[in-house]
Amino acid sequence: MITFVPALPDERTFGTAVPPLLDLAGRELGDETDVAAIEAIRVLPGAVALWRVWRVAPGQEPVRSYIVESAQPATVPAPIAAYAPGGTVPDVVRAARNAGALLWMAAAAPPIRVAPVFDSVDSLGARFDADHARLTAADLEHVAAYLEAGAPVLATASRLPDVVEPQRGAVVPMSYRTDGHWLWTESVAYYLRTYGLAPAPDLLAHVRAQGAALPAPGAVGEHRALAALFQSAAVVPARDDR
C-alpha cells in the first residue's frame, strides 16, 4: 500500500513521530534538494506554492515528489505535478499535497493565529467575563456569517457543554474553520449567535477589516491552518526572509 508523508523519520526533528502534514514556508531548510526546488519554482511566472511529499511503499525506497500550484501550470517542468488555483486536482495529487510539507508560497507567510473562545480557563472550567463585549443586529450577522463561511479544516461530531447555560447540555460544535489567517472553532460562532458574545478582539477586528468579503483561504491557507493545529511549523526556526 502506498502512503504519503511530509517527511521521513529523523532523530534531529521528529524522531519517528512525523506529523500528518507540515508548514515549512519561510523556514530554514537544511535539505539542498528542497532549496534547489524552491529556487527553481519561485521564479516561474504564476507560481503560487510548492509542496514536497514522500511516497512510501513496502519494500521500496521512499520517493520524493513535488507539487506546485501555479496560475500557469504549463510552465512547471515535468515530472513535477502542477495544477491551477481553483482548477481540477487529480485525487492522487490532492492526497499527496494534503499529506505533504508546504515549502514555499509566493505570498507572505505570517503565522496562523488561533482564536481563543473564552476569557479564562482554569481548574474551575471555562468562562466569559461579565463585561465581555457583545454584538447585535447587522454587526452580529456580518461577523457570524464570516465565521460560519470559514473553510472547514478539521471536522468532528463531538460537542461540548454550553458554559453560559449548562442546562442546554453538550450542544457546542467544535469543528475547526479558517480563512487562511486565523483558525477558530465553530464554538466561536455558536456563542456569538446564541448570546451575542463577540469573538476575541483581534479576530473581531480582522473580520471587520475584510468588509463584505468572505473567507477564501485556498489550498495554501487550509494547509497552513491545519498544520498550525498540529503545531508542526515549530519544528524548525523561521527565516528572516522567504
Residues 122-175: tens digit of each pLDDT: 998 999 999 999 999 999 999 999 999 999 999 999 999 999 999 999 999 999
CA 62 → CA 57, 103, 224, distances in Å? 7, 19, 24
Look over the chain and give the mean of its residue pLDDT values, rounded to a whole number: 92
Q: Tell me the torsion sign for CA atoms 154, 19, 111, 122.
A: positive
Predicted confidence band at 232 (pLDDT cuts at 50, 70, 90)? Answer: low
pLDDT at 164: 98
Alpha carbons 119 and 228: distance in angstroms, whole number: 22
Cβ distance 7 to 24 under 8 Å? no
Mean pLDDT of 2-11: 88
Cβ distance 51 to 66 under 8 Å? yes
pLDDT at 238: 52
Q: What is the pTM of this model?
A: 0.89
pLDDT for residue 181 is more than 60: yes
C-alpha cell belonging to residue 210: 475584510
Residues 42-70: tens digit of each pLDDT: 999 999 999 999 999 999 999 999 999 99
pLDDT at 242: 45
DSSP bridge partners of 113: 182
Predicted confidence band at 15 (pLDDT cuts at 50, 70, 90)? Answer: low
Mean pLDDT of 107-133: 94
Alpha carbons 233 and 92: distance in angstroms, whole number: 24
Cβ distance 75 to 22 under 8 Å? no
C-alpha cell belonging to residue 215: 473567507
pLDDT at 234: 47
